[in-house]
Amino acid sequence: MATMIEAIRDALGVMMERDKRVVSFGEDAGYFGGVFRCTEGLQQRFGPHRSFDTPISESGIVGAAVGMATYGLRPVAEIQFADYMYPGYDQIVSEAARMRSRSAGEFTAPLVIRMPVGGGIRGGQTHSQSPEALFTHVAGLKTVIPSNPVDAKGLLIASIEDPDPVIFLEPKRLYNGPFDGHHDRPIQPWTGHPMGDLPEGHYSTPLGQANIWRPGADITVLAYGTLVHVAEAAANESGVDAEIIDLRTLLPIDTEAITASIRKTGRCVIAHEATRTSGFGAELSAQVQERCFDYLEAPITRVTGFDTPYPVGLEWVYFPGPDRLVKALKEVMSY
Amino acid sequence: MTTHQTELRLHVPEPTARPGEEPDFSSLAVPNVDETPKPGIDIPAFDTYPLATGMVRVMANSPVDPPSAAVAKTSAWDPELSTADKLAGYRNMMVTRIIEEQFLMLQRQGKAAFAVRSLGEEAVAVSAAMAVDASTPGYGPGKDMHFPTYRQAGILVANRHSLVEMTCQMLSNTGDRLKGAQLPGLHSVTEAGFFSVSGNLGTQMIQAVGWGMASAIEGKRNVAVAWTGEGATAENDFHSAMVFASVYQPPAILNVVNNQWAISSFQGIAGGMNSPFAQRGIGYGIATLRVDGNDFLAGYAATQWATERARAGYGPTLIEWVTYRAASHSSSDDPSRYRPKNAADSWPLGDPVQRLADHMLATGEVSQAELDQIRAEAESTVEAAVTEAEEMGTIKDGINTPPREMFQHVYATPPPHLVEQAASCGEDLLADLNTGGHDH
């Protein structure tokens, strides 16, 4: 059994063992092993030239990663919190994402930028954000977000092996256990959860493939990261036979899995923790409307974070928990 | 209590002369060529302080050098190049000047979307490229990598990139190796050691440092050579580059080309008034040289020194090149709106091409007839290249690239959404995939 932290650490270890080009670095990510411990032991195992601390400079971390990738390495950079990513955003958007295109394939940036996302840890507005839509809007990037340890390892290995830049978002509330949004209940560990049973060694989970997390007949819930577990709780508590699709990769999006499910159920609820307006749910909603209009029996409904900063004191008002999802499921079913 | 000023006001630096006024470069101190010492490549970074405030110079023939000094004073930095190397430098600068003039004309004729020239500062890129190339057998283009801006086309000329291909990129025609993806002049030529030029300023500085870090991680001695104008040293990427270079000591050269102007903003707006940009290197603990940027031999020597230092494992060097942007910023710019029209003629460090010519004539190495011959050959070479490139079309012809090119290089393999979008333009990317015609 493994936590998501151990799964990520395992993926890094497997890849650094297999491929000398793989290097890992970030703020506090070397000797200490990262504030969430995802890179713990890598420096001791592979040496300081392959796992090291960086200055507190996200533009430096990402910019250096771009340079290393164009040289021929496979850098895996850690941004300590996704909320700290913005100083490095120009290097992601204008440089890493466009390197292949602007040089007609002469220079490429096969790198991975890992960053913890999401709230539910009393992190306030600077440790809780979910900026996935800022990446899915960018041509040339791939954006990945696992919901469990088994996928986290397989997706991270696939991301490191991918020839293009990958943004790897880690829902930090899931690091130590599946979280269904019931914050007032005892914390569940990954121990005993089927997706905490980590296969050993090298395996990869293909990018661009969604996973039917929970099969169902009545309604399709499109979710990713923490909200997969919230949706599962909501399905169980509402009695609605929801089919929960864990998107796993946001770009490229698995359109086939989405349309197949909605053509079956005729109803769609989209759930994410990020702010609502221009969030990734808007893209999902547009695609469902474009591809499944004739099959829809109810309006597409979004359950999301609010268009406010993530407030530490009102965290559980902001967080789209199971109660809000239950309400949405029932409304869509009764339409 | 002492009142120093009756009124506090925001300080906004102003250049010494605006349009209609006489150019005034009296604040630029130009030391004699024998004043700046040449230390060993293993000198501790901080001990290069005198080199960050002085100026590496070799040719005592700038407009402000006393005439009698033309061959009299010797510089510790003299790279003692052969006449053949000096003539190669002269030719490369001449070709750069002529072909960039042609590019501007093509832009004026509507055949190129955009054009940038390095007029008046050709010695910078040409001398550096030649010095890196010649520094160590087995290194150079293909091993070392320049991370240039759009004003270092001289690197491509010096590193023997095809002038036809270079022109095709300017014209966005069927011979454009970048398939119309990038603005004219923002070349990418890996075999010439020329990294893809971004167009966003300063981003390449930290990338070059990362590239040099990768070289060190792999235990190699490949040198990264970063380039920025003085204006973009204000960007955070420059400072990220300096911090990372200081921390990890990669084999890298960080070049700051101080050509005095960032479009219409003089170097004071980038913070160059109170200390030379070179001094920032000392602040970060990086060995630093300040160089007469219009002195081909000084530029060569400084780059040679920094390359050897990097290659030997003594870490990065910052080089500030003091030069003057005699040209407009770009084909979209009119400098007469913000600086005196004849300002370049008054520049104390003169013209780089003329100075190298004068030097070789003064030493008796070459005759004026030989130089004239080189110039004539450069003109005919450029003319032939432009003519050949124009036969492959210009942007005036409309679309020169199949639409599929727009979709093919976004990812290694086009994902489904791009396959779908390409289909809406009538392009079948899946057919390309099946025939292996997609990008690597």
DSSP B134-167: HHSTT-SBTTBEEE--TT-HHHHHHTT--HHHHH
Which of B206, B253, B400 has the most A C-beta neighbours within 10 Å, making it the best mutation to test the interface with A?
Answer: B206
pLDDT of residue A227: 98
Closest CA to A4 of A181, A141, A154, A150: A150
Render pLDDT for B13-37 as a digit per residue (tens, 0 to 9). Answer: 999 999 999 999 999 999 999 999 9
Contact residues, B window 349-408, toward A, CB-based 8 Å cutoff: 405
* Interchain contact, B217 vs A253, CB within 8 Å: no
What is the DSSP annotation of B179-192? TT-S-TT---BGGG
Burial letters for A199-236: b for 16+ Cβ neighbours within 10 Å, e otherwise?
Answer: eeeeebbebbebbebbebebbbbbbbbbbbbbbbbbbe
* Interchain contact, B241 vs A60, CB within 8 Å: yes
Which of B213, B247, B408 has the most A C-beta neighbours within 10 Å, making it the best mutation to test the interface with A?
Answer: B213
* Interchain contact, A106 vs B417, CB within 8 Å: no
The predicted model gives A56-82 an average pLDDT of 98
CB contacts of B178 in chain A (<8 Å) are 102-104
The alpha carbon of residue B351 is apart from the nearest alpha carbon of chain A, in Å, by: 33
Residue B195's region, left for phi above 0, alpha for psi from -120 to 50, else beta, is beta
Render pLDDT for A193-237 as a digit per residue (tens, 0 to 9). Answer: 999 999 999 999 999 999 999 999 999 999 999 999 999 999 999
* Interchain contact, A103 vs B182, CB within 8 Å: yes
* Interchain contact, A59 vs B237, CB within 8 Å: yes
The predicted model gives A254-265 an average pLDDT of 98
- Candidate from A54, A64, A164 with C-beta closest to B412: A164
Task: Measure the CA–CA gap between B182 and A102, rounded to whole angstroms.
Answer: 6
Query: Both tokens of residue A190?
Result: 């990954």
Render pLDDT for A72-94 as a digit per residue (tens, 0 to 9). Answer: 999 999 999 999 999 999 999 99
With bands split at pLDDT 50, 70 and 90, how would you rate the model's confidence at B1?
low
> Using an 8 Å Cβ cutoff, are B224 and B251 in contact?
yes
Render pLDDT for B182-218 as a digit per residue (tens, 0 to 9). Answer: 999 999 999 999 999 999 999 999 999 999 999 999 9
CB contacts of B209 in chain A (<8 Å) are 63-64, 67
Element (H, E) at B224: strand B224-229
Within 10 A of A105 (CB to CB), how many other CB atoms are there?
19
With bands split at pLDDT 50, 70 and 90, how would you rate the model's confidence at B137?
confident
Render pLDDT for B85-106 as a digit per residue (tens, 0 to 9). Answer: 999 999 999 999 999 999 999 9
* Interchain contact, B210 vs A87, CB within 8 Å: no
Contact residues, A window 13-32, toward B, CB-based 8 Å cutoff: 23
* Interchain contact, B188 vs A87, CB within 8 Å: no
The alpha carbon of residue B280 is apart from the nearest alpha carbon of chain A, in Å, by: 17
State which residue of chain A sits closest to B408, comparing Cα positions.
A101
- Candidate from B181, B200, B416 with C-beta closest to A101: B181
The predicted model gives B61-84 an average pLDDT of 87
Average pLDDT, rounded, for chain A: 98
Element (H, E) at B423: helix B416-424
With bands split at pLDDT 50, 70 and 90, how would you rate the model's confidence at B399?
confident
pLDDT of residue B69: 60
Task: Measure the CA–CA gap between A326 and A330, rounded to whole angstroms.
Answer: 6
β-partners of residue A143 are A167, A251
CB contacts of B195 in chain A (<8 Å) are 70, 107
Average pLDDT, rounded, for chain B: 94
CB contacts of A107 in chain B (<8 Å) are 188, 190, 195-196
The predicted model gives A43-72 an average pLDDT of 98
Q: Tell me whether A94 touches chain B (CB under 8 Å).
A: yes
Crossing angle of helices B416-424 and A255-265, rounded to 10°: 90
The alpha carbon of residue A333 is apart from the nearest alpha carbon of chain B, in Å, by: 31
Q: Residues with Cβ < 8 Å from B9, sequence gap 6 or more?
A: none
pLDDT of residue B437: 46
Q: Tell me whether A7 touches chain B (CB under 8 Å).
A: no
Q: Which residue has the tokens 């400084």?
A: B302
With bands split at pLDDT 50, 70 and 90, how would you rate the model's confidence at B70?
low
The alpha carbon of residue A272 is apart from the nearest alpha carbon of chain B, in Å, by: 22
The predicted model gives A111-124 an average pLDDT of 96
> Using an 8 Å Cβ cutoff, are A255 and A292 in contact?
no
The residues of A that are catalytic are: 127
Measured between alpha carbons, how far is residue A18 from residues A11, A108, A182, A202 in Å? 11, 21, 40, 9
pLDDT of residue B435: 61
The more confident residue out of A242 and B6 is A242
State which residue of chain B sits closest to A105, comparing Cα positions.
B409
Crossing angle of helices A4-18 and A149-161, rounded to 10°: 30
CB contacts of B412 in chain A (<8 Å) are 100, 108, 163-164
The alpha carbon of residue A121 is apart from the nearest alpha carbon of chain B, in Å, by: 31
Closest CA to B89 of B98, B81, B100, B101: B81
The alpha carbon of residue A239 is apart from the nearest alpha carbon of chain B, in Å, by: 35
Domains and CATH numbers, chain A: 4-174 (3.40.50.970), 211-333 (3.40.50.920)
The predicted model gives A281-297 an average pLDDT of 98
pLDDT of residue A67: 98
Does the pLDDT at position B3 exceed 70? Answer: no
With bands split at pLDDT 50, 70 and 90, how would you rate the model's confidence at B2?
low
β-partners of residue A169 are A115
Measured between alpha carbons, how far is residue A293 from residues A164, A250, A301, B388, B418 in Å? 33, 21, 14, 54, 22
Helices (H), A212-321: 226-238, 255-265, 280-292, 315-318
Q: Is B347 exposed, middle or buried (0-12, 13-18, 19+ CB in 10 A)?
A: buried
* Interchain contact, A60 vs B416, CB within 8 Å: no
Residue type, A13: G
What is the three-class DSSP state of A55?
coil
State which residue of chain A sits closest to B199, comparing Cα positions.
A94
Render pLDDT for B401-413 as a digit per residue (tens, 0 to 9). Answer: 889 999 999 999 9
Residue type, A44: Q
The alpha carbon of residue A64 is apart from the nearest alpha carbon of chain B, in Å, by: 4
What is the three-class DSSP state of B39?
coil
Task: Measure the CA–CA gap between B287 and B298, rounded to whole angstroms.
Answer: 17
Contact residues, A window 284-323, toward B, CB-based 8 Å cutoff: none
With bands split at pLDDT 50, 70 and 90, how would you rate the model's confidence at B141?
confident
In chain B, the largest separation of any two C-alpha atoms, in whole Å, equals: 83
Does the pLDDT at position B289 exceed 80? Answer: yes
- Beta-strand ranges (E) seen in chain A are 22-26, 51-53, 74-78, 112-117, 142-144, 166-171, 211-214, 219-223, 242-246, 249-251, 268-275, 301-305
β-partners of residue B56 are B291
Measured between alpha carbons, how far is residue B301 from residues A66, B60, B129, B177, B306 in Å? 30, 15, 12, 33, 9
Q: Which residue has the tokens 């679309």?
A: B399
Contact residues, B window 201-240, toward A, CB-based 8 Å cutoff: 203, 205-218, 224, 236-237, 240
- Candidate from A60, A94, A106 with C-beta closest to B200: A94
Q: Tell me whether A108 touches chain B (CB under 8 Å).
A: yes
Domains and CATH numbers, chain B: 45-390 (3.40.50.970), 402-434 (no CATH)
Q: Tell me whether A252 touches chain B (CB under 8 Å).
A: yes
Q: Which residue has the tokens 């799964």?
A: A7
With bands split at pLDDT 50, 70 and 90, how would you rate the model's confidence at B139?
confident
Task: Measure the CA–CA gap between A158 and A194, rounded to whole angstroms.
Answer: 21
